[in-house]
Amino acid sequence: MYAFSILFLFLGLTSAVTVTDCDIDPQNSCRVNCSGTIVDISDLVNYPYNISLSPSIPVGNYFLYNPCTGVKCETSDEYLSAVCLSDDDGSYSCGRLAESSATWEMTNTNPYKFTIHYEGGDCTGNDCKTSLFTFSETDSSAVSIKYKGLGNGDYQFEVTGKCIGQNGCDLTPSPRHANISGYIGFILIVLSLVALLVYFIAGILIMKFYKGATGRELIPNYAFWSGLPLLVKDGCLFTISPCCTKRKEYDSI
């Protein structure tokens, strides 16, 4: 029994980290087929997309990203690039758009996670600039593309959002996210009701044993609570009065 459990656990872990290579659509470099799973980032953002950099990052001014139709960088205008790095001296290719230079890999489908590696950018000797984009599905409806730093010879970027290229993606929050929001709202309502109950019970006890009050005077702040319905009525009349007649001053209601 234990042997079977260990085997199933091993198979589950193995399948969880399986990397699937993707085939790029010859007609659309933003669309791939990953063993039957279609990913399309054509409408992810408005291309070319400007990836801004903080002045504290000594890389350049900004990156320009266009994985669908490409851009021409100043130092490599003989071919189209997926990523350009711009600085005060010009712009440089950080990965070619050509199908032979782009590698897509799907690492998870629930939630979605995949990478795109662009090679063949501007080279110095055998050292060529490359870029790695990691796409991760989150509960945020807004898509975010951020530069994360230089690692393993790649300019590394992180792309997050609810819809990051899934076919037929729905912006409705995931069940887990919706359940968490519902639980938080329910907890806040319960806490508010408990606080109100404690307020009245403690107030009544104080009024009875500390101040010796009786009857309706046992209710803490009785004057406020007894006048609350009238205050609500006056507030409603003041709010809707412009819709019915000329606006009135609050004191005249």
Per-residue pLDDT tens digits for 94-143:
999 998 899 999 999 889 999 999 998 887 666 678 999 999 999 988 99
Mean pLDDT over all residues of the chain?
82
At 200, is the pLDDT very low, low, confident or very high (cuts 50, 70, 90)?
A: confident
For the chain, the helix, strand and coil percentages under 3-state DSSP, each to the nearest 5: 35, 30, 35
Class of domain 19-161: mainly beta
Q: Please count the CA atoms within 13 angstroms of the CA of 121 that sit on its side-chain side.
A: 27
**Whole-prediction pTM value?**
0.62
At 14, is the pLDDT very low, low, confident or very high (cuts 50, 70, 90)?
A: very low
The confidence score (pLDDT) of residue 11 equals 42
The confidence score (pLDDT) of residue 214 equals 77
Q: How far apart are CA 157 and CA 24, in angstroms?
A: 20
Q: How far apart are CA 63 and CA 234, in angstroms?
A: 58
Counting every residue written for the chain, the total comes to 253
Tell whether the model's pLDDT for residue 222 goes beyond 60: yes
Domain locations in the chain?
19-161, 181-239
For the chain, helix (H) and strand (E) counts, in that order, are 3, 15
* Nearest Cα to Cα of residue 129 among 100, 104, 150: 150
More confident residue, 98 or 233: 98
The confidence score (pLDDT) of residue 125 equals 65
Per-residue pLDDT tens digits for 58-91:
888 999 999 999 999 987 778 899 999 998 888 9
The confidence score (pLDDT) of residue 250 equals 54
Return the CA Rg of the chain. Answer: 31
Which range in 16-30, 31-45, 225-239 is most confidently predicted, on average pLDDT?
31-45
